[in-house]
Amino acid sequence: MSRPLPDGPAPSPLTDRFGRVHTDLRVSLTDRCNLRCTYCMPAEGLDWLPRPELLTDDEVVRLVDVATRRLGITEVRLTGGEPLLRRGLPGLVARLHALPDPPELSLTTNGIGLARSAAALRDAGLSRVNVSLDTLRPERFTAITRRDRLPDVLAGLRAARTAGLAPVKINTVPVRGVNDDEIGELAAFAVEHGYRARFIESMPLDAQGAWDRDRMVTAEEILGRLGERFDLIPAGRRDNAPAEEWRIAGTDTVVGVIASVTRPFCGGCDRVRLTADGHLRNCLFATEESDLRALLRGGAEDTEIEAAWRNCIAGKGPGHAIDSPEFRRPDRPMSAIGG
């Protein structure tokens, strides 16, 4: 429930010119990462944002406060880069949870370090977690992420479940010839351990610009692979959620498929993204951003930040058209935008 502003009426929704109401904010806390997933980053040579350019905790809290009190944002997902690399993350989560209109708080992470921090994050007010996991095979994990950290990720998953950060979702990006033969195994792993599984079509958002449509595994193929192993019962799509969901017959396990490329869900998009350096993007694929950090550091009032935010959403296009010849890659990669 949103409260009336001390100086005005309850916030009017953050609506764009197509009538889409935006309630879900993704906040990138860093562009750095301790893995180098091949579909996301090059092995080396990616420059990080200089530290002074990153939003401070105070600045993140201020922007989320404006978003929740004035703009009707109800959900905030913390992401990156790798958000667990952000120092003092439980403290930041606690401050967001203590806002006058606290959003539902979730985290997207590669899971490294989650074994140590899951309980503290839950105590601070985090509700849910998505953990990226593309393979259960150690050598393959090292080939995909260029780091030998599979045991840390599995320990992180277990800790998240024990801490009650439920539902714990596993995010997998299948890549042809790399891990597409493991789709059924990963879903079976989710069934066995009480996680949810989500399979995501790879998108042209890698920092090195090497995305190849032919190596993307389509939603249809993903469903084909799952169907070879399980009976799937359609569970629909939750309001504005990108994943189409199925329940695996005879289990409580839900699997989701995110068909960003072949069946984009732009018509129901309710998301807005804040980069780690304080730029607001109305789409993953936006080619323009609004510099909220400059406003913050220039002493702007909440009303000015609100106006800039509404203006950014007003300029949102109908969709990203990845699969069309007119598609233009955004200047920032996924790791710098916040996935």
Q: Return binding residues.
A: 26, 33, 37, 39-40, 77, 81, 108, 132, 169, 203, 266, 269, 271-273, 283
41 binds, among ligand SAM, ligand SF4, none (CB under 5 to 8 A by kind): ligand SF4
Asked if residue 167 has a cis previous peptide bond (ω within 30° of 0), the answer is: yes
Is 33 a binding residue for ligand SF4 by CB under 6 A? The answer is yes
Residue bearing tokens 């879900």? 24
> What is the rounded CA–CA span in Å between residue 315 and residue 266?
14
Output 205 or 248, the one with its CB closest to ligand SAM: 205
The stretch near ligand SAM (CB under 6 A) out of 12-20, 102-110, 177-185, 287-295 is 102-110
Site for ligand SF4 in 36-55 (CB under 6 A): 36-37, 40-41
Residue 17 burial class via C-beta count within 10 angstroms: exposed 0-12, middle 13-18, buried 19 and up: exposed
Site for ligand SAM in 20-39 (CB under 6 A): 33, 39
Query: Cα Rg for the chain, rounded, in angstroms?
Result: 19
DSSP 52: G
Backbone phi, psi, residue 216, to 5°: -70, 135
**11, 17 Cβ separation under 8 angstroms:** no
Output 69 or 320, the one with its CB closest to ligand SAM: 320
The stretch near ligand SF4 (CB under 6 A) out of 34-42, 70-78, 184-192, 309-317 is 34-42
Site for ligand SAM in 163-182 (CB under 6 A): 171, 173
> What is the rounded CA–CA span in Å between residue 76 and residue 79?
10
Is 147 a binding residue for ligand SF4 by CB under 6 A? The answer is no
Is 40 a binding residue for ligand SAM by CB under 6 A? The answer is yes
Q: In what order do the strands lie in the sheet with 232-236?
A: 232-236, 244-248, 254-258, 196-200, 168-172, 128-132, 104-109, 75-79, 24-28, 271-274, 279-281, 290-291
Is 135 a binding residue for ligand SAM by CB under 6 A? The answer is no
Contact pick of 68, 109, 135, 282 for ligand SAM (by CB under 6 A): 109
Structure tokens at 153: 């990720």
Identify residue 228 by its one-letter amino acid code.
Answer: E
79 binds, among ligand SAM, ligand SF4, none (CB under 5 to 8 A by kind): ligand SAM
Q: Nearest distance from residue 284's CB to ligand SAM, in Å?
A: 9
Distances, alpha carbon 166 to alpha carbons 5, 58, 118, in Å: 32, 28, 11
Output 131 or 269, the one with its CB closest to ligand SF4: 131
Q: Nearest distance from residue 28's CB to ligand SF4, in Å?
A: 10
Q: What angle do CA 262, 265, 268 make, to 5 degrees?
A: 170
| Per rule CB under 6 A, count of chain residues that contact ligand SAM | 20
Is 14 a binding residue for ligand SAM by CB under 6 A? The answer is no
Is 110 a binding residue for ligand SF4 by CB under 6 A? The answer is yes
Contact pick of 106, 130, 132, 260 for ligand SF4 (by CB under 6 A): 132
The stretch near ligand SF4 (CB under 6 A) out of 30-38, 61-69, 194-202, 306-314 is 30-38
Name the residue among 153, 134, 172, 135 with its Cα closest to residue 258: 172
User: How many helices and strands in the chain, by DSSP H and E?
Assistant: 10, 14
Binding site for ligand SF4 (CB under 6 A): 33, 35-37, 40-41, 80-82, 110, 132, 335
Binding site for ligand SAM (CB under 6 A): 33, 39-40, 79-80, 82, 108-110, 132, 171, 173, 200, 202-203, 205-206, 334-335, 339
